[in-house]
Every structure is written in C-alpha cells, then in structure tokens.
Structure 1
Amino acid sequence: MKRVLFLLLVLLGFAPFAGAQDTKNQDPAFEPAPLVVWNREITVFRAPLGNLTPEQRLSNALSKIADVEDFELYEDIRGERTSLGDLKTVSFMIGDEHLFAVVETDLDPTTGETLDSLTKTIISRLEEVRDAKREQRSVTVILKGVGVAIAATAAFLGLLWFLRFLGRKLRRYMVQRTSKLKQLKVRNFDFRPMMLQAIRRVIVMIGWGVALFAGYVWIVTVLGQFPYTAPWGHALGERLRTLTAGLLQSFVDALPGVIMVIVIFALTRWVARLADNLFRQLEHTKDDDSWLGSDTARASRRIVVVLVWIFGITIAYPYIPGSESPAFKGISVFVGLVLSLGSTGLVNQVMSGFVVLYSGAVRTGEYAKVGDTEGVIQDIGLLSTKVLTPRREYVTVPNAVLIAKETLNYSRIEENEQRTELSTKVTIGYDTPWRQVHAMLLLATERTPGIRKKPEPRVIQTALSDFYAEYELRFVPSDVAKKGVILSDLHQRIQDTFNEFEVQIMSPNFRSQPEEPVLTPKDKWFLAPSEPEGDKKGGGKKA
C-alpha cells in the first residue's frame, strides 16, 4: 500500500520524467538546495526530478516536515528503496507520513558516497531533529538550560569584573616598579613614561583577549543548552577547538625553528659584543701610530657590529616561523624595493665616509677647513662629518661634499718643529726700508700672545707692486683652534706698531703720495689688556 502511494505521488508529480528525460547526470544549470531543519542540515537536493527543480523539491520537503503532528514524533523514521526505470530512489517516512525522496543524482560525486550511506546519514539526522523537538517540549530540559545559561552569564560577568580589578592592580604595580628603574633615564631622556604606556597597552590587550575568549565560551555554552540553538553552539565550539588545535600544532611545529633562532641570536650577540669591546679598546688608544686610529676604530666598530647582525639575521631568517608565508615575502619585496630606490645616494655617502675615515684626512678634535667650512672636527660618521666653527655653529658636511672639495688640516703634526703656519699680509710704500718693515712685523708678533717662539716667525716679501711692496708675516700659533682670535689680536698689534714708528700701511690703494703720512693720532691709541706697559717705547728703540 505504501509503495503504491509513493508510486502514485511520483507519477502525479513527475509525469514527464517517465518519458525520455535522462537524469543520471546532474544538470549544472541548477544550484544545489540544502535541506536544513532546526538549524541542522539533513541532505542536499542537487538535481531536478521530473519537472521539479531542486528549489521546488526543497520547498515541498519543508512543507511536509512542518505538517508532521506532535504525536508522530514518537514514530519510527525509515527509508524505503524504490526504482523508476533504471533510476534508484529512496523515500523517507515517519510513521505513515511521506517526507521527501532522494535519487541517485543527489549524491555528491566529490565524496564518493553511495545511496545506502546517504540513506543512513539522512535517517540519523532526521532522528536527531525529532529528538530535539521532543526535548524542546520538555520542561526539565528548558529549566536546566536556563539554569546553566544564568550560571554561565554570572560567571562571565564575574570574570569581566575580576579582569578589570586585576588590570587596575597590575597597572598600579607596574607604575611603582617602573618609576624606580633609574636605568631608563639616560641624560635628558626619560624612557619611563613610554615604558609605562607600552605596559598599559599590553595589559589592556591581554585583558581584551581574555574577555573575548571568555565571551566566546559563554556564547557556546548558552547556545548548547537548548535543542534549537545547540547546532550553533556545537559549530562555534568546533571552530574554537579547531582554531586552538591549529594554534597548538603550529606552536609545536615552530618550536624547533624558534629554538634555532634563539641560539643564533645568542651567538650573534656574543660575537657583536666581542667585536664591540675589541674596537672600543682601539678607539680609546692614545697612540697616533696605531694601525687603526680613534675615528677609524669607532666607525669600524659600528660597521663590524652591523655586519655581524646582518649576517646573523640572514642565517636565522629561514628558521623564523612564517618566513615562507606570502606576508613575509611581501615584506621582503617591499624592503628590497625601498632599498633599491633609496640606495643610490646612500651608497655614495657611505662609500665617501669610508674614504674619509680610512684615508685619515681629518680626525676628531682637529682644526680643519672642509670646503667652505672651517672649525673643529666634532664627529666623523659614515654619512656626514660634524664641524664646530669658531662662531659656535654646528655644521654638518655630507661626506660626498667633503670628498669632492679640498680639505685643509691645520692640526696635523708630522714633527715637533714643523707645524701649520698662519699668515697675514701688509703693503708698505717704497719710502720705508724693508728691514724696518721686517723688524716692525716681528715686533708685533712678540707683543701678540698665542704665537709660538719656536719655530720663529718670519717675513717674506711676496710682491713688488707699482706703489708698494707686499710683505707676508708667517707664524705658528700655539693653538690653531684659536686662529681667528690670534689673527685679530695680531692685526691690532701691527697697526699699533706701525703707528708708533709713523709708517703708513698702503691699504687701501692710493693714486698719489699724500703730503703727510696717513696715521692714527697718538691721543687715540690704546693698549690691549695683554700688552705690557713698557713694550711701547722699548720696542720702538729696537726697531
């Protein structure tokens, strides 16, 4: 009787199917229609049956299942095998009520399932839905679910309160501990506020992470207490378990690589410290004949330490977890692109820095003229050289500029008697004996502090012009860094000395001899603070 009813339903609903339509191969024009009852997937209709599309078959099945009476929930669920021609079908029934049918074309070709295995699966899922509907009508099950949900909610809210309380305590404790760390304060820089801010951010992030994890568990627990929402809870719980298992498995897989990275880091750090200590000893040596000067040792220390770390990172990179991932490869490509675009000028500066450092043209503390900048060399780096001018200007000269221009080093000493000389020029008329001019210039140097007695100052006549002779006074300063002050003082002494002996300095140029020498009146003379009182007249008698 039941088979007759089923055949009548098939014939009435699927009359065209009995003709010539071949449904053994699924029609790709139709989308699969999953049958979901009470949040549980029962099966998937993948192919049309007669003039019914998968969507229409789904609608009919949902309508039949919704019409099942409450008393029928206690009936057995079974699947009956039938066939229409060479097409095998299975009709699923609860008691005497027909629910839906599946055919061979509904099988998933990717899993290799058979009609028998699909039948067992569908029956098991239908029984699960039936049992869930029964439990949903049970007052005991509902009360138990509500009780567990209330307890889980109270525990979740209590955990949130505890996390907030613990976060406050941790932040207060870290503030007290960090404020006592004097090592975080270096000169005018206090890193403790930044350290505290970073600690607070970490504590907040950990708190939020624990709270989100607890919220996830709370949702899974609450949903799992009620038959209707139990599939959602099971799905969320399964995802959480899968994620946790994946993270643990990834941690276990990455552990050997992490250990190798730690070992390489420790070895690299040890080698870098060894090189740093070695070059620091050479950096503080006072021996000028050392094969590696102070500036060169300092730069070499930085270069060697950087190279050691680059070498260590290169070796450790393959062992870093995720180094083969697309993210790491993208970062590598980005860094390489940035270095390629910006390395042209950088490489030029670095190579120029190598030339400056290892050629020894200038050293830290020396007084030199670098291009148009003159002063004391403060620091020589790979990219630039810092110069402190006599006017207290801190000038940064790129090493590429330093290499391109000439460098005058006033402080370099080869022998004790051969030092850098400074010079100044005066032009005197031919009516003044050149021997007297020499004597007056040398007398001015004797009266000027900051000029060495050994080697002795000397005067050289550099030109015989139309109206005057040109005299150049050369001398060695006691401190070349005070070059400007010494020259200024010397020029004052030269003017005073020439005025004392009534000799006119022929600058600026003139076109005819004046009737009287152009001199400073004696009542306007003044003595420099360093000039002895008796040198004024005594020096004149010597001249």
Structure 2
Amino acid sequence: MIRPFILALLVLGILSPIGGAQDIPADSVIEPAELKVWQRPVATFRAPIATLSPTIRRDTALRRIRELPESALYDEIRTLPTQLESLKGVSFFSGDRLLFTLIEADLDPAEGETLEEVKKAVVRNLDEVRTARLAQRSWAINLKGAGISVVATLLLAALLFGLQKLSRLTRRRFIRSTAKLSQLKQRDLDLRPAFLQLSRRLTAVFFTLVALGACCVWITVILSQFPYTAPWSHVIGEQVGKLAGDLLGGLLASIPNLLIVVLIFMLTRGTARITEQILRSFETDTDDKQLFGKDTAKATRRIASVLIWIFGLVIAYPYIPGSDSDAFKGVGVLLGLMVSLGSTGLVNQLVSGFVVLYSGAVRTGEYARVGDVEGVITDIGLLSTKVLTPKNEFVTVPNAVLISKDTLNYSRLTDAFRTELSTTVTIGYDTPWRQVHELLLLAADRTPGIREKPEPKVIQTELSDFYAAYELRFVPADVTTKGAVLSKLHQSIQDAFAEAGVQIMSPNFVAQPEALVLPPKDEQD
C-alpha cells in the first residue's frame, strides 16, 4: 500500500517536464497526443496539466516506458486512483515504477467514455505490449515466423510465375480468337488490331491486380509472424479490406445505374439503326424528285446518327457512375471550354456544308467548276467537297470557300437542255461569213465527242474594227471529257480553214500581208 504523501510526490513527479516547460496560452488549440509503444496504441492525452501540454505528457510517458529494465517485462501492470486538488484520475505502474497518469479531462466526450473503461483498456494495451516484447525474445516464435515467411515467399514466387504463364497463354488465345472475328472488319475499317490491343490491356490489368493482391497477402502474412510488426499487418489488412469493400460496395451500388445506361444504349443504338436504314433507302434511289437526294440522304443519315447518340448520351449522363464527382465535372468543363474556343471555324464549315448539301448546287458524279477548280464531284461532306480534275488531281475544297465562289454545273440540265460549250475564232472581213460558218460546222462534224442533236451552231458575237468574232457552240457527248473535246475541235478548225485557204488572224492585225498566213502543205495533211 502506497501512502497518500508518496502518491502526491509521484503525481508531482509526473508534472515535472522533460525540458523547460512553457506556459500554455489560454486561447491556444490543444491537440490530442496518442501514446504508441511498439506500434500499438496505449493511451491518448487530451488535456494539459499545469504547464504540460498533452504532447509533453506523451513524451514523458514514452521515455519512462523505454527506460524500464528488462526485468520489468515480468511485472504486472497495476493501477492506483489519483486525487490531487481538482485533478482526479488514475496512475499506471509497472511493478512499483510509475509510467503515466490519466485524468478525467483526457476522456473523449464524443465517445462517452468513463474513467473505469479507459483504465481497463489502457491496462489491456500495456499487457499486450509487455506480452509482445516477451514473445519477441522467444527463439521458437522467431524461428516459426521465419519458416512461415520462407514458405509464403516460395508460394508467392510460384503464384507470380504461374500468373505470368497464364497471362501469356491468355494473350495467345485472344490473338487467335480476334483473327476469326470477321465482324470487326468492314470494308477499309479493321477494328481487330484495336480490339486485340484492348483485350491485351484488360488482361494485363486483371493479372496485375491479382499479383498485387497476392503481394498484399504475402506482406500481411510475413508481418503477422513477428510480434513487433504484427500491428502493421493488421493496418495493411484493414486498409486493403476497406479498399476492396469500398470498390465492391461502389460496384454493387452502381449496378442499377449501369443497367439503366445499358438500356439507354440499346434503345439509342436501335433508334440509330432504324433511322439509318430508312435514310439508306433514299441513297439508292435515282429519282431527283424524291424527298432526299443521294448526297442529302447520306449527310442527313450521318447528322441524324450523331444527334441520336448525343441525345442518348445526355439522357444517360446522370446514370454514369462517377458523373457527379468533381473530377468528372472538371473534365466536362475542360472539354466544353476546348470546344467553345476551337469551334468557331468548325461551326462556319458545318453551316456551309448544310448550305451546299441541302441547296443541291452540286451533287456527286456531276461535272462542275468551283472557283478555279473544275472536275467531277466525288464526295460532298459536312466540312469539304472532293473534286477530281481532268488532270487526275484530287482537290479538297472547303465548303466555306465553295459557297463564296461562283459554281458552274455542267451536268445538271436534261438531254433537251444540255450545257453548251463554245470556242471563238476571229476572221478578217475579206472572208465571207457564210464560208466561215460552213467551215466551223464542218470542223464540229469532224470532231468525235460532239452530239449531233442538238446540232452545233455558229453565232457572230462581235464586229470589231479589224475582224469579226465567230463563236461555235456545241453540246459534248460526255461533259467530263470537255478538255479533250475542245482540243480535238481546235485541231479540226485549223485543218478545215487551212484546206479552204482561209487564214485565221487572231486577235487582229495592222495590215493585210502579201501572202496568206497558212500552215505548210505537209502540216495540212
């Protein structure tokens, strides 16, 4: 039995700081200090005593526990009620050696703790530390832990080796299976390499997660074999279990929303396919009086598909797991900002594409002239129009440029009203105009690729001071060969005029030459 005055001296001994104590300001925030010994929580100091903060009290108790002799490991933990003035608490001893004192102000008010409950918990914690330190000194326990650690390491190595072999086997199976999926190859689009790459990545992620889980179990098993590191194994196990529980709980909680997303995806996909089939029927119809032309139907099909998928995404967005997170919202804001800053020119091109498509100024397969570009229209998109020139040049004309230029369409009119081509020669007034007409029509008759009906015709477009201008108008059989037909026609005109002895003086001349300006005889043959 310890006498009261000795107890008072012991409490006063607790109040002696390790170093020079400083007064604690009245308005300062006092942080709790947890006492841990051998990685194990023992007690928590929450209130200051005199000039001693909870941190100083914790450091003093830790120093006293560390200074205990080895023989103190065999002493039982004893407690003694403490009352000094207004301080009421309990002191903890190892044998007759004071360790620390807890007062009522150290209790956690949020937990509703009592001094008796805290006393029993602290005694249990100190006994656990004392038992762990005794066990750590046991050769049998250490040898057993080392043996189990070696076996666990060998099992982990075998498991990792097996996972590596299984991963390679699975990748080879995916390669063979993907090569047989002909559905992933449509025309020039082959999705099999992308599908194979995705499968390999998912397989690698799966086996990596399994390997990490095995490593966590291995570390937990090894740490639990030794008393000093056993608390770490519990912490790792709890953290991994909490993480797995959170992931599993989140996955299970997301199943209803995922089912709704899948349902919306299926409805959106079905609607897009039905719309695509309806609009595809217009693409195969050659009737120009139908509701949608071939090009318009193709563009409308693409636009409708995009709009349907956007509408489905907007509906499914609230049900996507994580859509309400700050990270998801931040990515959405970033994408919206990027689209807003970079869509000015894109919107202009899209609007221009709508004008080109739905105005019907040009269509695929027609021969037209757009600004300085002339050729066959091969494709009309929302952003640009593709033109194949007679020189086999593949030219891409932005739709914004197309609608700002004059467009000359040679293929739009029917057989009765075909676009006429023309060429002009200037002949002096000394040649009868009737003869010029006959020679031009003769040249047209000799030129292949010119339609007989409607018949070619000659129009005198100008009576200049020095010559008369004659324009030969004709309809080509195929407007796409416009350049070749004009080249042959010019050759025929030169031959016909040379045969008739009529000189072509273009554009004009100052004085009549002494001899006719004609090509040599051998050039006329």
With normalisation by structure 1, the TM-score equals 0.90
1:202 deviates by: 3.1
Conserved? CA contact 2:48–2:54, under 8 Å = yes
Indicate whether 1:6 and 2:7 are aligned: yes
Conserved? CA contact 1:26–1:47, under 8 Å = no
Q: Which residue of 1 aligns with 2:58?
A: 58
Conserved? CA contact 1:462–1:470, under 8 Å = yes
One-letter identity of the residue aligned with 1:61 = A
Q: Which residue of 2 aligns with 1:321?
A: 321
Indicate whether 1:244 and 2:237 are aligned: no
1:99 deviates by: 1.1
1:371 deviates by: 1.5
**Residues 26 and 147 from structure 1, CA distance in 2 versus in 1: closer, same or farther, beyond 3 angstroms?**
farther
1:390 deviates by: 0.6
Structure 2, unpaired ranges of 5+: none
Indicate whether 1:176 and 2:176 are aligned: yes
One-letter identity of the residue aligned with 1:521 = P
Instruction: Write out per-residue CA displacement over residues 97-139 of structure 1, whole angstroms, 9 at most, x where no aligned residue.
Output: 3211122343345545443333232222112212222332344
1:516 deviates by: 1.5
Distance (Å, rounded) in 2 between the aligned partners of 1:257 and 1:190: 32
Conserved? CA contact 1:220–1:233, under 8 Å = yes
With normalisation by structure 2, the TM-score equals 0.93
**Residues 400 and 12 from structure 1, CA distance in 2 versus in 1: closer, same or farther, beyond 3 angstroms?**
closer
Distance (Å, rounded) in 1 between the aligned partners of 2:35 and 2:400: 76
Q: Which residue of 2 aligns with 1:331?
A: 331
Instruction: Write out per-residue CA displacement over residues 252-307 of structure 1, whole angstroms, 9 at most, x where no aligned residue.
Output: 11110000000000010011111111111111112122121100000000000111
Distance (Å, rounded) in 1 between the aligned partners of 2:368 and 2:140: 96
Distance (Å, rounded) in 1 between the aligned partners of 2:382 and 2:112: 68
Q: Which residue of 1 aligns with 2:415?
A: 416
**Residues 15 and 378 from structure 1, CA distance in 2 versus in 1: closer, same or farther, beyond 3 angstroms?**
closer
**Residues 418 and 110 from structure 1, CA distance in 2 versus in 1: closer, same or farther, beyond 3 angstroms?**
same
Identity %: 57
Distance (Å, rounded) in 1 between the aligned partners of 2:23 and 2:499: 132
One-letter identity of the residue aligned with 1:386 = K
Conserved? CA contact 2:23–2:51, under 8 Å = no
One-letter identity of the residue aligned with 1:481 = T
How many aligned residue pairs are there?
A: 520
Q: Which residue of 1 aligns with 2:222?
A: 222
Q: Which residue of 2 aligns with 1:82?
A: 82
Q: Which residue of 1 aligns with 2:476?
A: 477
Distance (Å, rounded) in 2 between the aligned partners of 1:161 and 1:361: 68
1:374 deviates by: 0.7
Q: Which residue of 1 aligns with 2:290?
A: 290
1:62 deviates by: 2.2
One-letter identity of the residue aligned with 1:282 = F
User: Aligned Cα RMSD in Å?
Assistant: 2.4
One-letter identity of the residue aligned with 2:476 = P
**Residues 15 and 250 from structure 1, CA distance in 2 versus in 1: closer, same or farther, beyond 3 angstroms?**
closer
Indicate whether 1:144 and 2:163 are aligned: no
Structure 1, unpaired ranges of 5+: 527-543
Aligned ranges for residues 132-531 of structure 1 at < 5 Å? 132-184=132-184, 192-413=192-413, 415-526=414-525
Conserved? CA contact 2:10–2:98, under 8 Å = no
Instruction: Write out per-residue CA displacement over residues 139-159 of structure 1, whole angstroms, 9 at most, x where no aligned residue.
Output: 443333233222221211110
Conserved? CA contact 1:33–1:46, under 8 Å = yes
One-letter identity of the residue aligned with 1:445 = A
One-letter identity of the residue aligned with 1:494 = I
Conserved? CA contact 1:460–1:471, under 8 Å = yes
SS of aligned partner of 1:417: helix
One-letter identity of the residue aligned with 2:361 = A
**Residues 516 and 385 from structure 1, CA distance in 2 versus in 1: closer, same or farther, beyond 3 angstroms?**
same
Instruction: Write out per-residue CA displacement over residues 415-466 of structure 1, whole angstroms, 9 at most, x where no aligned residue.
Output: 4311100011010111111111111111111000000011111111111000
1:171 deviates by: 2.4
1:10 deviates by: 2.4
**Residues 454 and 108 from structure 1, CA distance in 2 versus in 1: closer, same or farther, beyond 3 angstroms?**
same
SS of aligned partner of 2:430: coil
Distance (Å, rounded) in 2 between the aligned partners of 1:89 and 1:331: 56
